[in-house]
């Protein structure tokens, strides 16, 4: 399985997802500006992968600092604030940056009073790198557990021919995390157990994460997949080609409303219409108990060019007005269950999410 984020001797190596599916290219990120740009341009994308990449970005932004302790912490805060402006919707970005801030503060407090600034700064830098590397391992383990919980929900949906048929939107597979993915984790865990799947991948306009990335990784992992244009999902459901929808999320509000790639809301409405379960897979780090409802989730607005020039050629007239929100919010009442690493939350509510998330 391809790894999206890794640490080399002195750089954070990212799989450049803007080049998929035709080129498998890696880029070495050596400072926080390059990391900001990589997150903004979707070189690294998907909520959990963005979080881990940002954690490395924090380290890269301070690693060459030399000076006194107070200016060091000023610099650290500046780097954290800067990285937090790269994308607004995936809460994992802020979760990872805040974790790095805490690690730095706690490491600074843990030293003896007579420790030199130089030694304290070296210790904090080492802790920041170690924490980012730890997040790589944690993400893989968390996604694996999401897969194990999710497969229990999917197995009863096996058709008479032994195949579990699903529809997914955008990419919440291994390429959106460090390795297993969230929405696709149950598929990979199921395949390991000898189960059979067929996944319909919405192409996911405008940036085509479904056809470029989900289809690519499913094919690479030997999972039968069919790409459909986004406007074909209703027909696929009506023809009984899928038994469930499973997607990832960038942020779950306290009441269970779910932000995910634009178009997810429409798929959830369709699933309700056809009586198909709509599952959301998410690490608990994607649950934001500080926002009461999904209306409060910041939604990223992206460049009109993605809509008008997205396919390598101009597909709309010059000067036309364009609306390009990158995410939408699916209300909790359309969510059958949220699958986390700590277990499954059916019909999510603030109470049930609090028990799982905190």
Among 260, 285, 324, 340, binds ligand MRU (CB under 6 A): 260
Query: Is residue 324 part of an annotated ligand binding site?
Result: no
By CB under 6 A, the count of residues binding ligand MRU is 19
> Strand (E) positions, 219-266?
225-228, 244-247, 251-253, 258-261
Q: What is the rounded CA–CA span in Å between residue 279 and residue 283? A: 13
Among 131, 209, 211, 285, binds ligand MRU (CB under 6 A): 209
The residue to which tokens 């996911």 are assigned: 204
| 255 marked as binding residue | no
- CB under 6 A: which stretch of 107-115, 146-154, 169-177, 221-229 binds ligand MRU? 169-177
Using only C-alpha atoms, what is the Rg of the chain?
A: 21
String marking each residue 81-110 x if it binds ligand MRU according to CB under 6 A: ---------x--------------------
User: What's the CA gap between 159 and 198, in Å, rounded?
Assistant: 11
Residue with smallest beta-carbon separation from ligand MRU: 248
Is 332 known as a binding-site position?
no
Contact call for residue 294 and ligand MRU (CB under 6 A)? no
Least CB distance from residue 92 to ligand MRU, whole Å? 8
| 179 known ligand binder | no
Render 269-286 in DSSP notation, one character per residue.
HHHHHHT--EEEE--GGG
Nearest to 110 by CA among 98, 120, 96: 120
Neighbours of 84 (CB within 10 A): 16
User: What gap in Å lies between CA 47 and CA 285, rounded to an integer?
Assistant: 10
Collect all residues with Cβ–Cβ distance below 8 Å to 170 and sequence separation of at least 6. Answer: 202, 204, 209, 210, 214, 247, 248, 260, 261, 263, 264
Within residues 12-71, the interface with ligand MRU by CB under 6 A covers 42, 45-48
In the bound state with ligand MRU, the residue whose beta carbon lies nearer, of 129 and 170, is: 170
Collapsing DSSP to helix, strand or coil, 312 comes out as: coil
Say whether residue 179 binds ligand MRU (CB under 6 A): no
* 225 among annotated binding-site residues: no
How far apart, in Å, do the first and last CA atoms of the chain sit?
31
Q: Which is nearer to ligand MRU, 90 or 96 (CB)?
A: 90
Q: Which two tokens stand for residue 258?
A: 């779910």
Strands (E), 289-326: none
Rank residues 48 and 108 by Cβ distance to ligand MRU and give the closer one: 48
Q: Smallest gap, in angstroms, from Cβ of residue 159 to ligand MRU?
A: 25
What the block records as the tokens of 270 is 């369709």
Q: Which of 176, 201, 246, 345 binds ligand MRU (CB under 6 A)?
A: 176
Output 62 or 199, the one with its CB closest to ligand MRU. Answer: 199
Q: Taking phi first (over 0 means left), then psi (-120 to 50 degrees means alpha), and beta for anything else, what does residue 189 get?
A: alpha
Q: Is the peptide bond before 21 cis (omega within 30 degrees of 0)?
A: yes
| Cβ distance to ligand MRU smaller for residue 100 or 260 | 260
Q: How is residue 342 written in tokens?
A: 């700590």
Q: Is residue 174 within the footprint of ligand MRU (CB under 6 A)?
A: no
Binding mask 220-249 for ligand MRU (x = CB under 6 A): ---------------------------xxx
Q: With CA atoms as reference, report the closest residue to 293 among 339, 331, 261.
A: 331
Residue 177 interacts with ligand MRU (CB under 6 A): yes or no = yes
Do the annotations mark residue 87 as ligand-binding?
yes
Among 61, 108, 261, 294, binds ligand MRU (CB under 6 A): 261
Catalytic residue among 250, 257, 288, 328: 250
Q: Are 232 and 241 in contact (CB under 8 A)?
A: no
Is-catalytic flag, 321? no
> Per CB under 6 A, does 326 bind ligand MRU?
yes
Q: Just list the catalytic residues.
A: 250
Contacts with ligand MRU, residue ranges (CB under 6 A): 42, 45-48, 90, 170, 172, 176-177, 182, 209, 247-250, 260-261, 326
Binding residues for substrate: 45-47, 87, 209, 260-261
């Amino acid at each position: 399985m391809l790894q999206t984020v890794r640490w080399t001797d002195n750089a954070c190596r990212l799989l450049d997802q803007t080049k998929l599916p035709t080129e498998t290219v890696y880029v070495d990120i050596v400072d926080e500006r390059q990391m900001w740009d990589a997150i903004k341009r979707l070189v690294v994308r998907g909520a959990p992968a963005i979080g881990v990449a940002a954690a490395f970005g924090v380290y890269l932004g301070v690693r060459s600092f030399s000076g006194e302790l107070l200016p060091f912490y000023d610099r650290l805060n500046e780097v954290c604030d800067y990285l937090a402006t790269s994308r607004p919707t995936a809460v994992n970005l802020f979760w990872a940056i805040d974790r790095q801030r805490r690690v730095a503060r706690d490491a600074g407090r843990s030293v003896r009073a007579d420790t030199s600034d130089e030694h304290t700064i070296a210790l904090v830098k080492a802790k920041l790198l170690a924490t980012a590397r730890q997040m790589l391992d944690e993400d893989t383990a968390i996604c694996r557990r999401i897969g194990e919980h999710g497969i229990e929900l999917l197995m009863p949906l096996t058709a008479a021919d032994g195949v579990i048929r699903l529809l997914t939107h955008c990419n919440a597979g291994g390429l959106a995390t460090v390795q297993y993915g969230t929405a696709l984790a149950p598929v990979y865990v199921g395949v390991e157990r000898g189960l059979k799947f067929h996944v319909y991948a919405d192409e996911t306009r405008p940036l085509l994460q479904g056809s470029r990335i989900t289809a690519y990784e499913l094919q690479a992992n030997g999972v039968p997949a069919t790409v459909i244009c986004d406007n074909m999902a209703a027909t696929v459901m009506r023809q009984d080609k899928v038994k469930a929808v499973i997607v990832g999320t960038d942020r779950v509000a306290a009441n269970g409303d779910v932000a995910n790639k634009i178009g997810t809301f429409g798929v959830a409405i369709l699933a309700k219409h056809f009586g198909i379960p709509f599952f959301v897979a998410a690490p608990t780090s994607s649950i934001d108990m500080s926002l009461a409802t999904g209306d409060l989730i910041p939604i990223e607005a992206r460049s009109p060019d993605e809509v008008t020039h997205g396919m390598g050629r101009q597909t709309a007239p010059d000067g036309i007005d364009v609306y390009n929100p990158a995410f939408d919010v699916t209300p909790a009442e359309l969510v059958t269950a949220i699958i986390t690493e700590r277990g499954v939350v059916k019909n999510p509510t603030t109470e049930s999410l609090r028990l799982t998330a905190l």
